[in-house]
């Protein structure tokens, strides 16, 4: 939506200061991303919704469950997702290569990365002063020191790849970063999951989910799905838009969600990484 004036001032006017408003450092494609987090009983919420309505904005309602630190520590697995300010462009369109032999021919789900992660040189500055970042495909990147801590932690189910950037004339340059990869893929989720709706489901069943933001995301598994889990896992389902016509270099892939144990979250927090969201998965007896 178009706001006339500084978003900080406008939000401050309804009492939404930096404690609840997370404003991106720079616009992406001319859009400045702003996240305001309020409890559904917060008296500022109707003011914010009125402000959005006044400016003709809709579809901005994101409902999410929130958890205490104790609940996060007790969760079997947590969905780990990116910080809006720590996302660097990388993946198929940057020259990262993938083995497509076991992937869906239509949507590319199941593409198996075969090279180092290559990220856009334009986004290098976003890594400065950070210890972790992600790509738009939820690939998790960590600095080499944090990679060493993870490797020595005894955490299971992880492997690392190099991270490079490509310069137009000078070729590839390796960065002091590593991509954190999961070796284990979860079984398909339970249909009792909410906020994950088969919308334009691909024939492979792995992509084409809609994640309506007004329904809290609850990723549900059966107790039996946990027998093989590791500290780092990815979902069988792939999320997000796809565009694949046989050429990986021109592909837009959906991507699996990254699921980690509280032990991994603790390692990130101990390293001073605060930008990730952590959302517990749910277990049902079936
Ligand atoms: Zn498919």
Task: Decide: residue 149, CB within 10 A, 0-12 exposed, 13-18 middle, 19+ buried.
Answer: middle
Span from the CA of 246 to the centroid of ligand 1 (angstroms): 13
* Distance from residue 241's CA to the centre of ligand 1 (Å): 11
| Mean pLDDT, residues 186-197 taken together | 94
Residue 83 CA to ligand 1 center (angstroms) comes to 28
* Ligand 1 centre distance from Cα of residue 248 (Å): 14
* pLDDT bracket for residue 25 (50, 70, 90): confident
Asked if 251 contacts 97 with a C-beta cutoff of 8 angstroms, the reply is: no
Domain boundaries, the chain: 7-54, 69-284
Alpha carbon of 153 to ligand 1 centroid (Å): 36
The total of other beta-carbon atoms located within 10 Å of residue 184's CB is: 15
Report yes or no: 86 and 275 within 8 Å, Cβ to Cβ: yes
Taking all residues of the chain, what is their mean pLDDT, rounded to a whole number? 91
112 alpha carbon – ligand 1 mean position (Å) = 14
Q: What is the mean pLDDT of residues 27-53?
A: 85
Residue whose entry in the numeric block shows the structure tokens 């944090």: 146
Tell me: the pLDDT tens digits for 259-281? Answer: 999 999 999 999 999 889 899 99
- Asked if residues 188 and 204 have their Cβ atoms less than 8 Å apart, the reply is no
Number of H helices and E strands in the chain, helices first, is 5, 18
- Ligand 1 centroid vs 106 CA: distance in angstroms? 5
For the beta carbon of residue 200, count every other beta carbon within 10 angstroms: 11
Its pTM stands at: 0.83
Taking the centre of ligand 1 as the mean of its atom positions, its distance from the CA of residue 205, in whole angstroms, is: 6
Strand partners for 113: 98
Please state the φ and ψ torsions of residue 49, each to the nearest 5 degrees.
Answer: -65, -35
- Residue % of the chain over a pLDDT of 70: 96
Residues 237-255 have pLDDT tens digits of 999 999 999 999 999 999 9
Is there a contact between 20 and 12 (Cβ–Cβ < 8 Å)?
Answer: no
How many angstroms separate the alpha carbon of residue 201 from the centre of ligand 1? Answer: 8
Residue 249 CA to ligand 1 center (angstroms) comes to 18
User: Can you give the C-alpha Rg of the chain in angstroms?
Assistant: 20
pLDDT of 32 reads 80
């Amino acid at each position: 939506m178009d706001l006339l004036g500084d978003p900080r001032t406008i939000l401050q006017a309804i009492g939404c200061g930096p404690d609840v408003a997370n404003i991106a450092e720079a616009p992406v494609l001319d859009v400045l991303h702003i996240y305001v987090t309020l409890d559904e009983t917060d008296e500022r919420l109707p003011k914010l919704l009125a402000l959005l309505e006044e400016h003709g904005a809709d579809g901005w309602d994101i409902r999410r469950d929130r958890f205490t630190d104790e609940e996060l520590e007790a969760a079997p697995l947590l969905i780990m997702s990116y910080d809006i300010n720590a996302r660097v462009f990388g993946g198929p369109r940057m020259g990262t290569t993938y083995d497509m032999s076991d992937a869906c021919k239509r949507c590319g789900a199941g593409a198996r990365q075969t090279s180092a992660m290559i990220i856009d040189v334009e986004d290098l500055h976003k890594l400065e002063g950070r210890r972790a970042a992600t790509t738009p495909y939820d690939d998790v990147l960590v600095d080499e020191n944090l990679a060493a801590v993870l490797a020595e932690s005894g955490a299971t189910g992880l492997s690392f790849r190099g991270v490079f950037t490509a310069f137009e004339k000078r070729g590839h340059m390796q960065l002091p970063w590593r991509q954190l990869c999961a070796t284990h893929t979860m079984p398909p989720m339970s249909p009792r999951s909410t906020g994950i709706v088969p919308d334009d489901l691909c024939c492979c069943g792995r992509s084409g989910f809609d994640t309506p933001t007004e329904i809290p995301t609850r990723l549900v598994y059966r107790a039996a799905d946990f027998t093989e889990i590791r500290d780092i896992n990815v979902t069988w389902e792939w999320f997000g838009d796809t565009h694949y016509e046989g050429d990986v270099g021109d592909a837009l892939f959906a991507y699996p969600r990254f699921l980690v144990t509280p032990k991994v979250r603790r390692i990130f927090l101990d390293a001073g990484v605060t930008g990730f969201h952590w959302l517990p998965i749910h277990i049902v007896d079936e």
